[in-house]
């Protein structure tokens, strides 16, 4: 992170820029449904001695922010990751801000997932849209869960799957005011067809708002944990939100934190900080940044290497987002083959992009040039 270092020849552990550029491939992958305002996911893939890495900061990010994403990609391709502690990682279904009627179609791409994360507070939509979408997710997850369980098969016949049984979390991406969040979380937990929420991810944008929301929820008897996402990955001090007592759960993503090792170190600090505060550790949820199959390998490596306390159950990771892409650069996917979601989990391990798919999904020449230039600028910041 020291500009002077870069100017004077750079970090000795960094591969040479020419070497990094030599293995760069830029792809553009279509999404099945609009997510986070985008319909095509562009990514620059890096080929190094340790394997493949990904550099895919969202287009609007500035270079200082994007540099951390490059560090994560270089770690993947030139250094590799700590050994996994478990071979598979449980993932949540990720439900974009679709109309309720499209929920079954989305969830069908997350076979066996019993935890669902639902996007809420989308710009241009109303609380009614969120309430309908979340209720549809509860119904659908409960239905498929009951359908899988021998014991409960007769209950399906009797038509009584319990919508409260699904594990549902919502992600507002900071889109609510404190008052809107309190009203929405009350409606999403107590209204008809609703039930408990595992947590609400970034209901409001700022740390003081999160603190105020927690107080308001406690006063109103609404029992929903708060998870911090943007308050961690966009903050100069990622621990500040936990120190302020504003978050019960920490959502961590490998690319914005600068790599698997950086995420694991932060998880360790969060654990210590939580214990210092009141004895309870702050649980960590690994999540994707809408990565390609290559980028997801890094998230899976982090989730698989995350130490757990005795008896601690790992919360489902938001790493099933490959299902949101209509095409990827490894063979197979959810419909069969390499690293498909099976019984709600994904196997850990590297993937090898398919040369034909890399070619088929290659970005246009001007987009490739744009990404290579961005890589050069970010490299200079490492």
88-90 vs 345-347, strand pairing mode = antiparallel
Partners of residue 249 on adjacent β-strands: 227
345 part of the interface to ligand OSB, by CB under 6 A: no
Q: How many Å is the Cα radius of gyration of the chain?
A: 21
Is 201 one of the annotated binding-site residues? Answer: yes
Query: Residue 51: which of Mg ion, ligand OSB, none does it interact with, CB under 5 to 8 A by kind?
Result: none
Q: 202: closest CA among 236, 246, 145, 259?
A: 246
Q: 197: closest CA among 305, 276, 120, 84?
A: 120
Q: Show contacts with ligand OSB in window 227-256 (CB under 6 A).
A: 229
- Find the catalytic residue in 133, 138, 214, 253: 253
**Least distance (Å) from ligand OSB to the CB of residue 319?**
8
Q: For residues 24 and 17, is the Cβ–Cβ distance under 8 A?
A: no
Q: Show contacts with Mg ion in window 193-212 (CB under 5 A).
A: 201
CA distance 378 to 366: 18
Q: Show contacts with ligand OSB in window 263-282 (CB under 6 A).
A: none
- Residue 64 dihedral angles phi and psi, to the nearest 5°: -60, -40
DSSP 8-state assignment for residue 79: I
Query: Residue 36: which of ligand OSB, Mg ion, none does it interact with, CB under 5 to 8 A by kind?
Result: ligand OSB
Residue 13: CB atoms within 10 Å = 10
**Least distance (Å) from Mg ion to the CB of residue 111?**
23
229 part of the interface to Mg ion, by CB under 5 A: yes
**Least distance (Å) from ligand OSB to the CB of residue 321?**
5
Interface stretch with ligand OSB, choices 272-280, 286-294, 325-333, 358-366 (CB under 6 A): 286-294
115 part of the interface to ligand OSB, by CB under 6 A: no
Is 352 one of the annotated binding-site residues? Answer: no
Nearer to ligand OSB, 144 or 152 (CB): 144
Interface residue with ligand OSB, options 54, 56, 70, 94 (CB under 6 A): 94
Interface stretch with ligand OSB, choices 218-226, 284-292, 295-303, 370-378 (CB under 6 A): 284-292
Long-range CB pairs of 82-87 (<8 Å, 24+ gap) are 82/260, 82/261, 82/264, 82/301, 82/305, 83/305, 84/301, 84/304, 84/305, 84/348, 85/304, 85/305, 85/306, 85/307, 86/304, 86/348, 87/304, 87/347, 87/348
Is 354 one of the annotated binding-site residues? Answer: no
Interface residue with ligand OSB, options 32, 36, 148, 225 (CB under 6 A): 36
From residue 48, give the alpha-carbon distance in Å to each of 15, 24, 26, 55, 308.
Answer: 9, 9, 15, 13, 31
117 is catalytic: no
DSSP 8-state assignment for residue 75: I
Interface residue with ligand OSB, options 90, 115, 173, 189 (CB under 6 A): 173
Q: For residues 103 and 136, is the Cβ–Cβ distance under 8 A?
A: yes
- Find the catalytic residue in 109, 117, 119, 368: 119
Q: Show contacts with Mg ion in window 168-187 (CB under 5 A).
A: 171
CA distance 199 to 357: 38
CA distance 284 to 242: 12
Query: Residue 323: which of Mg ion, ligand OSB, none does it interact with, CB under 5 to 8 A by kind?
Result: none
Interface stretch with Mg ion, choices 6-14, 71-79, 184-192, 221-229 (CB under 5 A): 221-229
The catalytic residue positions are: 119, 253
Summarize as ranges the residues that interact with ligand OSB (CB under 6 A).
36, 92, 94, 117, 171, 173, 229, 287-290, 318, 321
Summarize as ranges the residues that interact with Mg ion (CB under 5 A).
171, 201, 229
Binding residues for Mg(2+): 171, 201, 229
Binding residues: 171, 201, 229
């Amino acid at each position: 992170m020291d500009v002077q270092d870069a100017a004077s020849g750079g970090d000795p552990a960094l591969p040479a820029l020419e070497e990094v550029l030599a293995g760069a491939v830029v792809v553009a992958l279509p999404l099945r449904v609009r997510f986070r305002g985008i319909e095509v996911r562009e990514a620059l893939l890096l080929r190094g001695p340790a394997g493949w890495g990904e550099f895919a900061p969202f287009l609007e990010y500035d270079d200082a922010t994007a540099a951390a994403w490059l560090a994560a990609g270089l770690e993947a391709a030139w250094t590799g990751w700590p050994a996994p502690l478990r071979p598979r990682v449980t993932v949540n279904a990720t439900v974009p801000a679709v109309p309720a009627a499209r929920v079954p179609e989305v969830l069908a791409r997350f076979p066996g997932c019993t935890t669902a994360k639902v996007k809420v507070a989308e710009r241009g939509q109303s609380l009614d849209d969120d309430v309908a979408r979340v209720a549809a997710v509860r119904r659908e997850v409960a239905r498929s869960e009951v359908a899988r369980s021998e014991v409960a098969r007769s209950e399906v016949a009797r038509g009584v799957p319990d919508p409260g049984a699904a594990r549902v979390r919502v992600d507002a991406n900071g889109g609510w005011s404190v008052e809107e969040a309190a009203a929405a979380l009350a409606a999403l937990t107590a209204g008809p067809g609703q039930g408990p929420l595992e947590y609400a991810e970034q209901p409001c944008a700022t740390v003081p708002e999160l603190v105020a929301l927690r107080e308001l929820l406690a006063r109103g008897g609404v029992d929903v944990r708060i998870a911090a996402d943007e308050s961690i990955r966009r903050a100069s001090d990622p621990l500040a939100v936990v120190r302020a007592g504003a978050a019960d759960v920490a959502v961590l993503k490998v690319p914005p934190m600068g790599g698997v090792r950086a995420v694991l170190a932060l998880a360790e600090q969060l654990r210590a900080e939580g214990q210092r505060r009141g004895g309870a550790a702050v649980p960590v949820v690994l999540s994707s940044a809408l990565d390609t199959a290559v980028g997801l390998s890094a998230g899976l490596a982090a989730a698989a290497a995350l130490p757990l306390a005795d008896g601690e159950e790992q919360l489902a990771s938001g790493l099933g987002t490959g299902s949101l892409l209509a095409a990827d650069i490894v063979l197979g996917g959810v419909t069969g083959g390499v690293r498909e979601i099976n019984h709600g989990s994904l196997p850990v391990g590297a993937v090898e992009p398919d040369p034909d798919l890399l070619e088929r999904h290659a970005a246009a020449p001007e987009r490739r040039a744009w990404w290579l230039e961005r890589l050069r600028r970010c490299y200079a910041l490492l």
